[in-house]
Structure 1
Amino acid sequence: MTSVVTFHETSKWYGNVIGVNKLTLAIPAGVTGLLGPNGAGKSTLLQLATGQLRPSQGMVRVLGEEAWNNARLNRHLGLCPEQDRFYEWMSGWDFVYTCARLSGLTRSAARDAAARTIDSVGMTKHRQRAIRGYSKGMRQRIKMAQALVHDPQVLFLDEPFTGTDPVARRDLMNIVTSMGTEGKSVLISSHVLHEVQSLTSRVVLLNHGRLLAEGHVREIRELIDKHPHHIVLRCDRYRELAGCLVQWPDVEGVRVLASEGELLVETRSPDAFYGRLPGLSLDDGLAIESVYSDDDHLEAVFKYLVK
């Protein structure tokens, strides 16, 4: 896929503190989750990509152009930062309209875009209130509106759901999903793993400024050879099922969870294991009621890599 954001041997340091360390990464179109613990370098990466920081070493390109000191790119980029930086006396409408004008829209186009975008984030009835009176969730919504008002091609979101109530979180997540469906590109930084996984399966994992892994969650999980894949099976005849499974060459362990009537299976070949399960039910008459694996979840992958 064509890369929208590219880092090549990129480093950024603040005195003796390293924010990003020799990062080489190509982010394609669509929605990508940027994950890592606090201090991993996520915000530094976003600031480099949006031209707010100059790399100490290496190169950062967005849409094929160098990000640093490139005012032309601003028209095509949207940013919802983690920290609030408002003129508190402005109304939500004034703020979003001003951002639209600064992005190059005419007065008429800016008015239409501000009205449309404020409505899309559910802030129409609060648009004339001063921002100083907004709740945390309302401030997050109006920040999202300013990031979207000029219809950017690439959207950067830094912890956009922090402090939002469930309704606001759902609305903002729907906006991100819609942008991905429309062919836009979104890079969303978050430490809330389940929220990112509900938006996309493509992730970039950072820790201490270095790239740990990138790609689809399942692909990353399959690369972690030293951690067997854990699969849970529910079956009324779970002890008979355990006797069959221990004979499979790619099954490394079977543990009976008697209280739940389940088996916990360890394997390093999950695809082959899943492929044989239907035949086991048909041939031996062992009705398997459910199959699931927490190891396919982003949180498990993240823990394996960081620890």
Structure 2
Amino acid sequence: MSEQGIALKAVSVFYGEVVGLSCIDLELGPGITGLVGPNGSGKTTFMRSVTGLLEPREGTVRVLGENPFTSAHARSRISLVPATECFLENASARRNLEIAFLARGHSTAVSKTIAQRALERVSLVQDGERAFRTWSRGMRQRLKLGLALTADVDIVLLDEPFLGVDPPSRHHLKALIKELGDAGRCVVISSHVLHEIEALTHRVGILAHGRLLGHGDIETLLATFRERFPQRILIDTADPRRLAGLLVGRAYARSVVVLEKRVELLTVDPEAAFAELPKLISEEDLDVRGLSSQDQSLDALFSQVTEAGAQLL
């Protein structure tokens, strides 16, 4: 896996006495992986370590099988799209791209050609001569992705690409990111906009307090954490006490709580619960007016797990 993408083994990073990353073991190959976690969880530290900007105190980092802190070749195969601005404010978008490709070792003529291609890929040719400082946040992010799409790299790291971007621009950005993943590149995207990640990929890693709490496809993570974080199902009914009595003792019921005109069911097996509840309601002729759950999405799992992150360490 490490020959095709990123491999971290027992990686720990410290800022003085503050933990940036703690004993991270992670391998990522081609395709898109989402990295989610609150501020200070270690997402940016992870990306800085992978790019060779921040060497860990402990453990090893490998990019395409090489050490990014000593291998110029490994670093040349990485494109980082940072959350902060990385272009010259007073230069045009075209000139910024040309400078970026010159820095990658291309000739002036080749840099101009690739810069034009990058502008075309993200539909920004008509704005290419404008100073970067006049651009909207969405246009700026598209330009960064244009650079990543056109650069000859294997690893693309996207740090909070949707931050401050309007909905139409987000739609465009998602299409560009999918293009990167479909091209077989190893793409890592961090974001607080969790439903955007959920729409892009089924593979996620959850960070909290510098620790990797889980990594895998969303359904697997939901199942893994469900034992510690049961799914909450709310059932609106005219007779909550009767319904609660029927639910107590069922295999899928972790706990049953009677509320005003509703029952709260906690379950570690939501599929079984949702399969049996309609039959139970029909057989017992219960007056049920609604059934809902807000805990099945990545957003809900993320909130539950990261809020309890310290207890999981």
> Normalising to structure 1: TM-score of the pair?
0.84
How far apart, CA to CA, are the structure 1 residues paired with 2:114 and 2:281?
A: 57
How far apart, CA to CA, are the structure 2 residues paired with 1:200 and 1:303?
A: 19
Q: 1:14 to 1:268 in 2, by over 3 A?
A: closer
How far apart, CA to CA, are the structure 2 residues paired with 1:270 and 1:183?
A: 35
How far apart, CA to CA, are the structure 2 residues paired with 1:168 and 1:227?
A: 35
How far apart, CA to CA, are the structure 1 residues paired with 2:196 and 2:279?
A: 35
Pairing of 1:1-307 with structure 2 (within 5 A): 4-107=5-108, 109-224=110-225, 225-231=227-233, 245-246=247-248, 248-254=250-256, 264-274=264-274, 276=276, 293-307=293-307
One-letter code aligned to 1:6: A
How far apart, CA to CA, are the structure 1 residues paired with 2:178 and 2:290?
A: 29
How far apart, CA to CA, are the structure 1 residues paired with 2:201 and 2:236?
A: 28
How far apart, CA to CA, are the structure 2 residues paired with 1:292 and 1:63?
A: 45
Percent identity over the alignment? 35
SS in 1 for 2:295: helix
SS in 1 for 2:56: coil
Structure 1, unmatched stretches of 5+, are none
Deviations 1:76-103 (A, max 9, x none): 2211011113222321011112222333
Asked whether the equivalents of residues 119 and 146 of structure 2 are also in contact (C-alpha less than 8 Å), the reply is: yes
Asked whether the equivalents of residues 221 and 301 of structure 1 are also in contact (C-alpha less than 8 Å), the reply is: yes
**1:127 shift after superposition:** 0.6
**1:265 shift after superposition:** 3.3
Q: 1:168 to 1:236 in 2, by over 3 A?
A: farther
Asked whether the equivalents of residues 145 and 176 of structure 2 are also in contact (C-alpha less than 8 Å), the reply is: no
CA RMSD of aligned residues (A): 3.2
Structure 2, unmatched stretches of 5+, are 308-313
**1:46 shift after superposition:** 0.1
How far apart, CA to CA, are the structure 2 residues paired with 1:282 and 1:152?
A: 58
How far apart, CA to CA, are the structure 2 residues paired with 1:18 and 1:180?
A: 31
Deviations 1:114-135 (A, max 9, x none): 2232233232211101112223
Asked whether the equivalents of residues 233 and 263 of structure 1 are also in contact (C-alpha less than 8 Å), the reply is: yes
Asked whether the equivalents of residues 91 and 129 of structure 1 are also in contact (C-alpha less than 8 Å), the reply is: yes
Q: 1:69 to 1:264 in 2, by over 3 A?
A: same
